[in-house]
């Protein structure tokens, strides 16, 4: 029987606009983009195509000079129409005008029985060339895995507890054979275990239950119970000098498709959700799609914020922006740039407050009430106040306040001792949400990680 870990600390943000379990085909986007900014830790991106080049889906278009073996591939076939750069020529996007019918770069096909006998070197070469390697994330640091490393274990979280999170049963419906094949390939890269974290409150989906040779652990509790970092902390914590890899279930399916079908298939189901969406539901598209066709005619108001990902960790984009490489969710919430009379003193039950301080009647709300939240910070950055509140939403045995102060003081020894190897931005996002000092906590965590990587 799987181990069941019950988490008590955390905070579930119950937003209005949850998606219906309906999947429709989104109108095909005209353009798709690969964004180097999606890949944390990429220091020196190098484009290997020029504007006007014709590429197939799965053809390499980008690599990192610090990790040249890992190729980042075109999500669809078509013409490279723009290589967009920002300040100091920072590479922002590689845009591709898509063909009407996708043409794929072809890679070697395998059967399930072939995969059992497959060696690491052969599997690694196909994954590096075929565009799926960036799905592997290294902990510590939360960066793309280095192919020369051997991880202690590999972790896969099969559920998401973040606000408006999509359901993986719907995202990956009918793709259990590809997931099982992907797991079989991942076994080549570790002498440890493949850990799968599942939601204890739900029946394990057949997509995941058919995978063999994995260790399943059940988790229950409020957000961030679905975070893979929390799973690692409670199942096999990372010590200095150790490396584990993580990958989300969609990435495992992509690996399976690369070996069983011989193509880099970026087709994905994404969720359009939020209080400003007239009919929140799921849509079929491809990775890196421009969201304009997906959101067109489905937004109720004009002054809204589009987010690729969830409201805690996602990226703000325009209505003509592009879906992030690792995202399966487009959140749409009110922008929140309007003055609010009386602010937090307003006697209302419509405000969500972890501290029960916003809205004088907020304490009357039940735990099942859904909220319409905007992007307003409700305060500006101020002195760092130590309240001990972070520990109430972070289900890890670390001291987040002292860790953040160690990073701000650039105290390397304390950063290591206080647990920076165990966390990345998503693990501390709730701390930022409830922070009365309004600090960019996720930014501070990345600053600390970058300092440790430079040592």
Answer positive or negative: Cα dihedral of 159, 160, 165, 171. Answer: negative
Cα(94)–Cα(317) distance, integer angstroms: 16
Cα Rg of the chain (Å, integer): 22
Where the chain has pLDDT below 50, the residues are: none
Look at residue 265 and give its three-state secondary structure: coil
User: What whole-number distance in Å separates Cα of residue 441 and Cα of residue 448?
Assistant: 11
Please tell me the predicted confidence (pLDDT) of residue 369: 86
Residue-level pLDDT at 393:
96
- DSSP E strands: which ranges in 38-153? 45-47, 54-55, 60-64, 67-73, 78-85, 91-98, 137-139, 143-144
| Measured distance CA(95)–CA(99) in Å, rounded | 13
- For 335, the token pair is 């922008």
Q: Would residue 3 be called left, alpha or beta, if left means φ above 0 and alpha means ψ between -120 and 50 degrees? A: beta
Dist CA 214 CA 100 (whole Å): 40
Cis preceding-peptide flag for 154 (omega within 30 of 0): no
Phi first, then psi: what are they for 449, rounded to 5°?
A: -60, -45
Cis peptide before 224 (omega within 30 of 0): yes
CA quadruple 226, 227, 230, 235: dihedral sign: positive
Q: What is the pTM of this model?
A: 0.94
Phi-psi region of 410 (alpha: psi -120 to 50; beta: other; left: phi over 0): left
- Find out whether 208 and 170 touch, Cβ atoms under 8 Å: no
Question: Which pairing describes strands 215-220 and 304-308: parallel, antiparallel, or unpaired?
Answer: unpaired
Residue 363: the pLDDT is 66
Using one digit for the tens of pLDDT, what is the confidence trace for 118-147?
A: 999 999 999 999 999 999 999 999 999 999
Q: Would you list the DSSP string of 384-411?
A: ----S-GGGT--SSS-HHHHHHHHHTT-
Beta strand pairing status for 194-199 and 215-220?
parallel
Per residue in 363-379, pLDDT tens? 667 778 899 998 887 77
């Amino acid at each position: 029987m799987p181990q069941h870990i019950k988490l008590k600390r955390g905070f579930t943000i119950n937003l209005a606009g949850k998606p219906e379990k309906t999947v429709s085909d989104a109108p095909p986007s005209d353009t798709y983009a690969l964004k180097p900014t999606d890949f944390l830790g990429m220091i020196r991106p190098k484009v290997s195509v020029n504007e006007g080049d014709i590429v197939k889906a799965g053809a390499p278009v980008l690599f990192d000079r610090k990790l040249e073996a890992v190729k980042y591939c075109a999500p669809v076939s078509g013409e490279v129409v723009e290589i967009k750069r920002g300040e100091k020529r920072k590479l922002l996007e590689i845009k591709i005008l898509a063909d009407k019918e996708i043409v794929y770069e072809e890679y070697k096909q395998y059967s399930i029985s072939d995969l059992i006998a497959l060696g690491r070197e052969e599997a690694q070469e196909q994954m590096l060339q075929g565009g799926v390697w960036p799905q592997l994330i290294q902990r510590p640091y939360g960066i793309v895995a280095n192919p020369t490393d051997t991880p202690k274990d590999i972790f896969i979280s099969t559920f998401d507890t973040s606000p408006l999170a999509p359901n993986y049963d719907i995202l990956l419906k009918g793709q259990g054979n590809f997931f099982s094949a992907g797991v079989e390939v991942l076994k080549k890269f570790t002498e440890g275990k493949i850990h799968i974290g599942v939601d204890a409150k739900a029946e394990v989906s057949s997509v995941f239950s058919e995978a063999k040779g994995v260790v399943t652990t059940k988790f229950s509790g409020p957000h961030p119970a679905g975070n893979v970092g929390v799973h690692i902390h409670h199942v096999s914590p990372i010590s200095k000098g150790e490396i584990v890899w993580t990958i989300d279930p969609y990435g495992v399916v992509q690996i399976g498709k690369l070996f069983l079908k011989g193509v880099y298939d970026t087709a994905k189901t994404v969720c359009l959700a939020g209080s400003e969406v007239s009919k929140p539901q799921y849509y079929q598209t491809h990775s890196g799609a421009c969201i304009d066709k997906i959101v067109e005619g489905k937004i109720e108001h004009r002054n809204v914020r589009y987010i690729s990902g969830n409201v805690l960790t996602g990226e703000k984009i325009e209505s003509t922006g592009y879906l992030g490489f690792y995202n399966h969710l487009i959140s749409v919430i009110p922008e929140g740039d309007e003055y609010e009379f009386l602010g937090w003193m307003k006697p209302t039950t419509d405000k969500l407050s972890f501290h029960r301080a916003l809205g004088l009647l907020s304490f009357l709300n039940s735990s099942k009430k859904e909220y319409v939240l905007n992007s307003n910070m409700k305060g500006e950055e101020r002195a760092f106040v130590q309240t001990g509140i972070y520990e109430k939403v972070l289900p890890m045995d670390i001291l987040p306040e002292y860790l953040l102060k160690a990073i701000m003081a650039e105290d390397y020894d304390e950063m290591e001792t206080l647990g920076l190897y165990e966390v990345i931005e998503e693990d501390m996002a709730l701390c930022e949400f409830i922070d009365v000092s309004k600090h960019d906590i996720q930014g501070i965590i990345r600053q600390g990680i970058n300092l440790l990587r430079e040592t």
